[in-house]
Structure 1
Amino acid sequence: MAQSRAGNEEAPCSPEAHPSKESSYIFKVVLLGSSSVGKSSLAYRYVKKDFRDSLPTVGCSFFNQCVTLDATTVKLEIWDTAGQEKYHSVCHLYYRGANAALLVYDITSKETFEKAKVWLSELEQEFLQNEIIIILVGNKHDLSEVREVTTEEAREFANTKSILYMETSAKSDYQVTELFTTLACELLKLEQQKKAFHATHWKKSRIDLQERTSRPRKCCH
C-alpha cells in the first residue's frame, strides 16, 4: 500500500485493529445507493465538516480524507457514485478494485432500501466475502418519525448477509464520523488478517520446500 500523510485525527481502534508499528494505508471506498439518499451529503459532512444539500451526482465525484488511528494513518479515497438509474450500468467501473462499499438508503423510503439490496447482490458477484468491507447505511436519521424502514428490519437483513449496519444523518451530523472511523478500523482488521494468512501460507510453503530438499536422494543403478 502507498503511504499518505496524516490528516484529521479520529477515535482510535482497538489494538487488534492495526499494526503496532507506524504505518499507512490507502483504501478505496465507494458510496452506492439510489439518487437523493444523501451519499454526497454524507461524504461532504465527513470531509468538510458541514452539511450541504447537493444536486444529483453526475457520473462520480471524489473525496479523500486521512484518519489517524494510533500509529496508523489511513487515507480513505471516497468515490461518490451517481444514483440515477441511467448511470447504473457504468457504476461497476467505479467500484472495481474497491476495498470497501457503503450501501446507503433513505430510512424514509422503502424503495431505496430495496435498491440497496440490489447493489449488494452486484457486489457479491464482483467480490469474495473476505475481499471487501460492506456497511449498510440507513441515512436521514433526523426523519425517524416518518421512517418506512425500521432499524430492526435493516439490522436483521444486514445480519443475514454478514455485513455491518449503521444509521446516520448527514444533516444533523449523527454518527457520520463514527461511520467512517468504523470503516477504517474494519479495513485495517481485514488487512491484518490478509497479512497473517499470507505469512502463515508462506511459512508453510517454506517448510514444505525445506523438507523436500532435505530428503536423501536415491542413487541410480
Structure 2
Amino acid sequence: MGSSSGQGNSYDFSFKILLIGDSGVGKSSLIVSFISNSVENLSPTIGVDFKIKLLTIGGKRLKLTIWDTAGQERFRTLTSSYYRGAQGIILVYDVTRRETFTNLSDVWTKELELYSNNQDCIKMLVGNKVDRDSERTVTREEGAALAKDHGCLYLECSAKTRENVEQCFEELTLKIMEVPSLLEEGSALVKKNNLKQKQEYQAPPSGGCCS
C-alpha cells in the first residue's frame, strides 16, 4: 500500500469517545491500558484529559480521541461541553463498589440525557476491576440488566489484567461504524482537519470592512 497523499490524512474516520463515571472506577486506567498496553497507578484526573489512539478496525483506519472526565463533584461544571459531538460514551463502574453502580442510574445517565446532543451516539456500560472478583458486590446479571434498560452495550473488564479492554473500545467503535450519521460525522472531522492544515499554509484573505 502506498503512503496516503495530503498532510495528516492517515486515517479514514475520526471519532470522539467519552468515559464517564464516579471517581476511582478506573476510567483513566482503562484508557492507558488500551493505548499503551501497560498499567500503572494513576492519580485522579483533574478536570478533563484526552488521549489519541490510531487503529485499524474493519479495514478502516481510525483516529479515536478518548476523553477522560473527572468523577469528582467539584469539576462537574466543566463537563457539559465534553459531551458535545461524542459518537461513543462509555459509562464505567467498579464491580467491587456498589455505589459506583447505583450512581450510574442516579447521576450519570441523567447527566447523559441532559448534555449529550447526539441521539445516535452509542453507549456502553463497563464493569471494571473483575480481577477482584472475590470482592465483587455487583453481579454480571445486574450490569447486563442496567445496560439493557438504557440501551447500552455491556462488557466487564479489568484495566489491571487488560481483560476485555481492547474489546471494549473495539466493540464500541464497530457499533459506531454501523450508524450512517455517526460515520458521516467521523469523516467530516477528518475533512475538517485536512482543511485546517491547508489553511495554515495560506495567508488569511484581507476582507474589506465596508460593503
TM > 0.5 between the two?
A: yes
Show the counterpart of 1:141: 130
Show the counterpart of 1:38: 26
4+ residue runs of structure 1 moved beyond 6 angstroms?
Answer: 192-195
Taking a change above 3 Å as real, the CA distance of residues 52 and 26 of structure 1, as seen in their structure-2 partners, is: same
Q: Does 1:176 align with 2:181?
A: no
Per the normalisation by structure 2, the TM-score is 0.78
1:185 to partner: Cα distance = 0.2
Q: Which runs of 5+ in 1 are unaligned?
A: 7-23, 196-221
The residue identity in structure 2 corresponding to 1:106 is: D
Q: Number of aligned residue pairs: give it.
A: 177
1:54 to partner: Cα distance = 0.5
Deviates more, 1:88-97 or 1:53-62: 88-97
Taking a change above 3 Å as real, the CA distance of residues 35 and 71 of structure 1, as seen in their structure-2 partners, is: same
Once residues 159 and 135 of structure 1 are traced to their aligned partners in structure 2, the CA distance between those partners, rounded to angstroms, is: 10
The residue identity in structure 1 corresponding to 2:39 is: F
Question: For 1:31-69, what per-residue CA distance to the aligned partner results, in whole angstroms no more than 9, with x for missing partners?
Answer: 101111101000000001100110000111110112212
Taking a change above 3 Å as real, the CA distance of residues 94 and 127 of structure 1, as seen in their structure-2 partners, is: closer
Taking a change above 3 Å as real, the CA distance of residues 193 and 90 of structure 1, as seen in their structure-2 partners, is: closer
Which of residues 179, 183, 201 is equivalent to 1:190? 179
Taking a change above 3 Å as real, the CA distance of residues 145 and 51 of structure 1, as seen in their structure-2 partners, is: same
Show the counterpart of 2:121: 132
Question: For 1:155-207, what per-residue CA distance to the aligned partner results, in whole angstroms no more than 9, with x for missing partners?
Answer: 01111221111101000110001111101101101136876xxxxxxxxxxxx
Which of residues 72, 92, 101 is equivalent to 1:84? 72
Structure number with bigger Rg: 1
Kept in 2: contact 1:4–1:73 (CA 8 A): no
Kept in 2: contact 1:74–1:184 (CA 8 A): no
The residue identity in structure 2 corresponding to 1:53 is: N
Q: CA RMSD in A?
A: 2.0
Identity %: 38
Show the counterpart of 1:159: 148
Taking a change above 3 Å as real, the CA distance of residues 141 and 102 of structure 1, as seen in their structure-2 partners, is: same
The residue identity in structure 2 corresponding to 1:126 is: Y
Q: Which runs of 5+ in 2 are unaligned?
A: 1-7, 185-211
Which of residues 31, 41, 48 is equivalent to 1:60? 48
Show the counterpart of 2:15: 27
Once residues 102 and 70 of structure 2 are traced to their aligned partners in structure 1, the CA distance between those partners, rounded to angstroms, is: 17
Per the normalisation by structure 1, the TM-score is 0.74
Q: Secondary structure at the match of 2:110?
A: helix
Once residues 182 and 73 of structure 2 are traced to their aligned partners in structure 1, the CA distance between those partners, rounded to angstroms, is: 36
Show the counterpart of 2:10: 5
